[in-house]
A and B are shown apart, each in its own frame.
Chain A
């Protein structure tokens, strides 16, 4: 097993524990924005889409697959953040507390 793989596994494990820790603090009030927000975060696959598109790939078929991957990942990122923002904008505290 390569050293790099072990390092990556370590990062994975720590990130999972961190994720549980941070997310368990999110109130049920915000669970829908949490879902769409994490949705936007997994849009990070756009990084992967850019990397595979940017490397040399002969053939039209692979170019089409790359194009589709870019479209899907971009829609994921943009849609995810925009819709989360739209939701969070609506959460307001009582305006004039007596």
Chain B
């Protein structure tokens, strides 16, 4: 019996060649894969206590540019396919080349965004210690978020004294290894005394989400106490003492002992960054995989094109369908991560 039929030409009753059907099925499966992650996003976001889901943590400009880049590359991949259908190899090379440049550009912008987040720091101040820092933070117009589950106040910014982070890591490691109790105690005290200097972020300006500083609420609740200790909450005076740092953002110093948890904006920082890195990382893997396939068609497709141009066109069509899915996923990712 002959080889496998319908590898290039369509079967009459289905109107499809094998690979086209195959890729649509694959796309269905991909939709379910990302569907699982999108539902996880919804689940986590709805489960977060009110007001604690981070908003405005991502700069929408590079994300918006990336959306444009991907949409544009979806158009060029169709043009590449059209060129093959018209048997214009040079034009195919041009359009497919542009598609690949777009893919590389997308990845570069993504890398720039990741890198920016990897240098952003945040810390959670214990509720019991917040009074110490309240005047300073109010004076600095810091963006403060209260987390009822862990009973902590979160502030974010850029670390001004990187050496202290090294020392914190080193001390933590030593305390874990230290066999004698007295030395453990000594190093723990040393650790708690260290201070992280943070050039704090200001509240993001998000339409429809006016920022409510939990410290002001705290202040109102304890008005009587404030009146007794005027100087402790004297914002004007505190403002004078706050130094400015990164981009003229005010700097506050927080003792390690008063911090529940801290870290750069890695996946482990909070649920938002966990889902952000997981989804965009998986999407980036798809971009890389798609570019490898499309690049193979561009750089190694000439021979097949000479032998069977329709087969080559079909391959590009199938690859293009996948590329559109990659684009489509991003079109959903962009608003839920950057805008909403």
A in complex with B: no
Residues of A within 8 A of B (CB): none
Residues of B within 8 A of A (CB): none
